[in-house]
Structure 1
Amino acid sequence: MHDVLEPDSERGRVYHCLVGRPRARVPELAREAGLDEEAVLAVLRDLADEGVAVAFDTTDSADDRDHAWEALPPARVVEAVLQHDALRQAAARRAGAELERLYRFARRDTGSYGALEVVDDPAEVLAASHRLQLAARHQVRVIDVPPYSGSRAHYLDQEVLQRRRMAAGVVYRAIYQGCAFQDPVAGPNMARMIEAGEQARTLDEPPLKLAIGDDDLAIVTLRADDGPGVVSLLIRPSGLLNALSAVFETLWRLAVPASMAGVDPRIDERDRRILTLMAGGATDDAIARRLGLGRRTVVRRVSTLLAHLGATTRFQAGVQAARRGWL
């Protein structure tokens, strides 16, 4: 359903046209969206099945081409997207719980299970993390959650390694818990890495601590069962590694892009109203007229809000603002 909020997709273009044109018909929508009528009709039927659009029969015709079409309010669509995301996040948590059960099974047995190896020595865990990053040719994906127990020297060493790997063309994508930026040691490191080019997003409660190097190795870090400290699971190419990769990608879609500042700015009532109108598809001119503001003021505020939200479109801004509780 997310693509309904993306005006660059076919479904998003048709929905965007519907938002601005009440009771529109297929030929009119096809012209405005730049699509042929058959494609528009197929999209409209999909949107109707998903409860995003409604057809009104005003001609007693059985042909959908003759119907007038109406969009559901964007706020309701955004809420539906958020509910859908919540279900996907719950599924990711269940996957994490299943992994936890697998870990406990492996610990009761011999310490290894197929493609899984248990490592509880901190130096070995650190060495494995370095090997994972050095071996990566395309990307390193990370989910980082508290507690952040590393020393300042550890984070500085990691910065040096990550900068070197990014300079070699390796893409780093990281999901952080929202409170991470408040940590006095980890927070500044994260902000510097984002500024250096790391793609970072935040999520309220990621279900596990994870690092994946390409599709070759994953490291899951868990609290130790029988004492203080942590243990790590090294997972090599297998169905389990594929499942962890899918969990990461699901959480990545749910997460909110992190600003370089690392914290949500406070927004006033004017910005809240601008975001609400943006989510409804209003143009800068329409927002200026509605709120009695100068167009340049609106353009500046829209640009600032998009940057803070890490959004590239107005619909994305609306979804992410709703996730942050701004709307």
Structure 2
Amino acid sequence: MLEALGLDDAHTAVYRSVLAVPSASAKEVSASVGMPVGRARTMIGELERLGLLARQASQPDRVVASPPAIALKPLLLERERGLTRAHEALIEFSELYREAADQRNAADVVDVILGTDAVRQRIGQLQAAANREVRVLVLSQVAIISGAENVEEDRALERGVRYRVVVEGGVLERPGFLDVARSVGALGEEIRVLPTLPTRMFIADDAMALLPMRSHGENSSLGALLVHPSGLLDLVMAIFEEYWKTATRLLPDDNGAQDGVDRDVLKLLLLGLTDATIAAQLRISVRTLQRRVAELMELAAVTTRIQLGAEAVRRGWI
């Protein structure tokens, strides 16, 4: 609640607990918020330095809460002034950047990013700056940044940024990928699949694209090309849209006649995954998967898996 002032949930909990009582000791705060006494004492000291808490005159080992309207308002005003100054600097810097961008020649529309950490930083920055949409191509090779590390994707999805992602078929072999796809799908991310892709790609809105690449040879290293607004960026976006149009949607809509597991089985079969990979994604045994496929074939009155796929599409099961 007080993150805007640089305070975390623990500070908020301590301040709230003291607000609710006439006064409190570190031991009482510790018991109230469920943290060790030493940590509670540290929190109290930090809040005291900020003027949110004060020592009780008659009992210095106890603290009282300062009135929020008096203690918090100056902090908020100072933070607002800081944000105003930062916003003014943003406008000034953006104008300088725009003027420089207008003077870019053909060689200046691409920046070269060197090093794994620098590439990861740019990927995070692109997502953090996106307002409308992020478009991504994902290779089956080891990811530059894992889903767990990519916190900016979660934040972007939470603020309503749309994600359109095309992955190589090999990505579906990663353990738990289907569960992850379903969870981000609920937040507005759509994933499609193609057998192969030529490169990785990140596009933020229509403003900038990042093309990560790895050099070859003994001294292989990771780098990327950062593409600014230009004819080249237009080409990169057009390439993504072509792959998007031909890719197959990973997760079916939930309006088919079959239950969720059957829809997943049918969809993954159509994507060409092996029985072992499908079973691993669905957390069932291969034998259970094969038995269910046989039951679906009997239900659809077909004798081959190819016929099953066609019949499933015709009947609207996927």
TM range (shorter): 0.3 to 0.5
**Which structure exhibits the higher relative contact order, with contacts defined as CA atoms closer than 8 Å and separated by 6 or more residues?**
1
Larger radius of gyration: 2
TM-score by length of 2: 0.47
